Structure 1
């Protein structure tokens, strides 16, 4: 994903913002299992680059994040690299993939 200039975490944030359609930082933090101040540090470079905007939405509380046209283009550019990486990991893990996913879900429930 390096050629796109997006980290895996930033990619996940962009994807989640797109899926949630203008979430607040709190909603995004809950969806991505991040602490809000840590997530804000992840989001800031995306705002500076123009991939996201942050602002008030009339009638709603809090700052909302919106995926921009540039953000959609960046997400589209990074998605093939993400897919290749996921395929590579799946190939390496083979039959252990399902065991790892189950273990990660169990750890997530504990956190």
Structure 2
């Protein structure tokens, strides 16, 4: 039974990566105003397979999260705090007479 859980986890990892790649292709096609029907249908099929695998995995008693490193986008570092910088008050702009 433990071998089956490991197989399912490997398939889920691979399927997640494939889904991300297909979704990226689909978004590129959308941005170019191209037809993305085929890729969208493939993503839907992958989701169906994924759902079945997750249900089987849960039935076998595996509830540990599956981490895929390539799915995580590193966060940008936050800007350093601005010390000693004050906001200037907003004042209405003076109109310049045109001649």
TM range (shorter): 0.3 to 0.5
Q: TM-score, normalised by structure 1?
A: 0.33
Q: TM-score, normalised by structure 2?
A: 0.36
- Point out which structure has higher relative CO (alpha carbons under 8 A, 6+ apart): 2
More helix by share: 1
Which structure: larger Rg?
A: 2
More strand by share: 1
